[in-house]
Amino acid sequence: MITVALVDDQAMVRVGLRMILEAEPDIEVRAEASDGSEALAMVRDHAPDVVLMDVRMPGMDGLAATREVLAASPDTHIVILTTFDDDEYVYEALKAGASGFLLKSAEGDALIDAVRVIASGEALLAPEVTRRVIERFAAADIPADPDEHVPSPEAIGDLSEREVEVLQLMSRGMSNQEIAQELWVSATTVKTHVSHILTKLGVRDRVQAVVEAYDSGIVVPRG
C-alpha cells in the first residue's frame, strides 16, 4: 500500500486529490495539511511514502516545507504541485530535494501514475516542464554563447562518455526505455548507467542528477 499525504491551502483541492487517489486499491491518503508547518508535523506523525506539496501557501511555503520534511523524513518522496507560473519555486524545490513535479491541470490518471512512479523510487520528469524550468534558471549562470561554456573536469567527475550521454538524455526528461531506444541498447543497460550516474554525482534520484548536470555545466541549456 502506497501512503500519501496532501499539502495544499485550498480544501477543495485536497478533496479532489483525495477522491482521485482513494479510488485506487493500492493508494491510501493518510493525512492532509494546509501549510508547511502542518505538513512537517504530519510527516513526523504519519511518515507517508509520498507527499503532494503545493508551492504557494501562507506561512511556511512549499519550498521551505520541502527542505524541512526531507530533513525530518529522508525516505519520504515529495511531488511539487505547480502551475506554469511557478517556475522559480519549482526549480528551487527540486534543488531542495523534491523528486518531481506535476501540473495542477494534469488528468487524474497522470496523478495516479505520478504517485506510483515516485513511490517506486523513480523521479518524475515531465519533458515539457523540465526543459522550461531547468533551462530557464540554469541559463542565467552560463555565457551567452554555449560553445564557450566548457564544463570543468571536477563537474564531470568520473562519468564515462556513455554516462554523460545518458545524463544529457535524462535532462530532456526521457525515460529509461526512451533512452534505450535512442542509444540502441537495452533498458537494463540504461538502468545500470543511471545507477552509476547517481552514485558518481552523489545524488538521490534522476531529478537531482539533472539539476546537478545543469548546475555543473555537464548539460548546457539550449537557447
- C-alpha–C-alpha distance, residues 136 and 208, integer Å: 16
The mean pLDDT of 156-184, rounded to a whole number, is 87
Check pLDDT > 60 for residue 174: yes
**Within-domain flag for 129:** no
Shared domain check, 116 and 11 = yes
Cell of 81: 504541485
- C-alpha–C-alpha distance, residues 61 and 67, integer Å: 10
Check pLDDT > 60 for residue 149: no
- 222 sits in the region (left: phi over 0; alpha: psi -120 to 50; else beta) called beta
**Within-domain flag for 170:** yes
DSSP state of 100: E
**Within-domain flag for 135:** no
Shared domain check, 173 and 92 = no
Shared domain check, 157 and 120 = no
Q: Which of 32-36, 72-76, 118-122, 141-145 has the lowest mean pLDDT?
A: 141-145
Task: With cut-offs at 50, 70 and 90, classify the pLDDT of residue 58.
Answer: confident
Closest listed residue to residue 179, CA positions, set 209, 156, 223: 209
Q: What is the pLDDT of residue 162?
A: 94
Which residue is associated with the grid cell 518522496? 77
Check pLDDT > 70 for residue 215: yes
Percentage of the chain exceeding pLDDT 90: 43
Check pLDDT > 80 for residue 29: yes
CATH number where 68 lies: 3.40.50.2300
The mean pLDDT of 194-223, rounded to a whole number, is 79
Q: Which residue has the higher pLDDT, 200 or 5?
A: 5
Task: With cut-offs at 50, 70 and 90, classify the pLDDT of residue 9.
Answer: very high
- C-alpha–C-alpha distance, residues 29 and 147, integer Å: 49
Check pLDDT > 70 for residue 92: yes
Shared domain check, 28 and 115 = yes
Q: What is the pLDDT of residue 145?
A: 46
Closest listed residue to residue 131, CA positions, set 194, 205, 221, 217: 221
**Within-domain flag for 138:** no
Shared domain check, 171 and 87 = no
Range of the domain at 98: 2-124
**Within-domain flag for 134:** no
Task: With cut-offs at 50, 70 and 90, classify the pLDDT of residue 93.
Answer: confident
Q: What is the pLDDT of residue 132?
A: 62
DSSP state of 49: S
**DSSP line for 110-173:** HHHHHHHHHHTT--B--HHHHHHHHHHHHGGGS-SSGGG----HHHHTT--HHHHHHHHHHTTT
Question: How many residues comprise the chain?
Answer: 223
Q: What is the pLDDT of residue 144?
A: 42
Q: What is the pLDDT of residue 127?
A: 56
pLDDT in tens, 95-139: 888 888 888 888 899 899 889 988 887 777 665 556 666 666 555
**Within-domain flag for 189:** yes
Tally of structural domains, the chain: 2
Percentage of the chain exceeding pLDDT 70: 80
Shared domain check, 21 and 117 = yes
